[in-house]
Amino acid sequence: MVSLKLNKHSHKFHIRKGDIVKIISGNDKGKIGEVIELIKPKEQVIVKGINIKIKHKKSNREGELGQINQIEYPIHSSNVMLFDKENNIASRVGFMIDSDGTKKRKLKKLL
């Protein structure tokens, strides 16, 4: 019998909650949105207004109506890229150390 071990180390994300990202592959390619949530074990992100699926909810009681809900589903973190609205550029993330010693994220195309 073969046992599979899951990687216990969490993935280091190149984006953070609240970042503006551009979708670089999939059905929503080219769309821009804000990261709402990070799902670290699966290396996925949920982006506001992107990858929307429709869920039908059945009524629980008699006389109650069913519902149709639109939910944002997760996207793998490799399918999104950090986006800069001022320069209208999507790029990979680079790090640089300021003169005061703090580490800051910058877009590679702007470095």
Query: Would you say residue 12 lies in a domain?
Result: no
Give the residue numbers spanning the domain of 62.
20-86
Query: Would you say residue 7 lies in a domain?
Result: no
Better pLDDT: 103 or 1: 103
Query: Would you say residue 8 lies in a domain?
Result: no
Residue 6 pLDDT: 57
- In which region does residue 17 sit, left (phi positive, over 0), alpha (psi from -120 to 50) or beta (all else)? beta
Q: How far apart are CA 54 and CA 10, in angstroms?
A: 30
> Within 10 A of 23 (CB to CB), how many other CB atoms are there?
21
Query: Would you say residue 97 lies in a domain?
Result: no
Query: Would you say residue 73 lies in a domain?
Result: yes
Report how many domains make up the chain.
Answer: 1
Query: Would you say residue 67 lies in a domain?
Result: yes
Query: Would you say residue 60 lies in a domain?
Result: yes
| CATH code assigned at 74 | 2.30.30.30
For 1-38, what is each residue's pLDDT tens digit?
555 555 566 667 889 999 999 999 999 999 999 999 99
For 44-78, what is each residue's pLDDT tens digit?
999 999 999 999 999 988 888 999 999 999 999 99
Residue 75 pLDDT: 95
Q: Is residue 36 a contact partner of residue 48, using CB atoms and an 8 Å limit?
A: yes
Query: Would you say residue 58 lies in a domain?
Result: yes
Q: Is 93 exposed, middle or buried (0-12, 13-18, 19+ CB in 10 A)?
A: middle
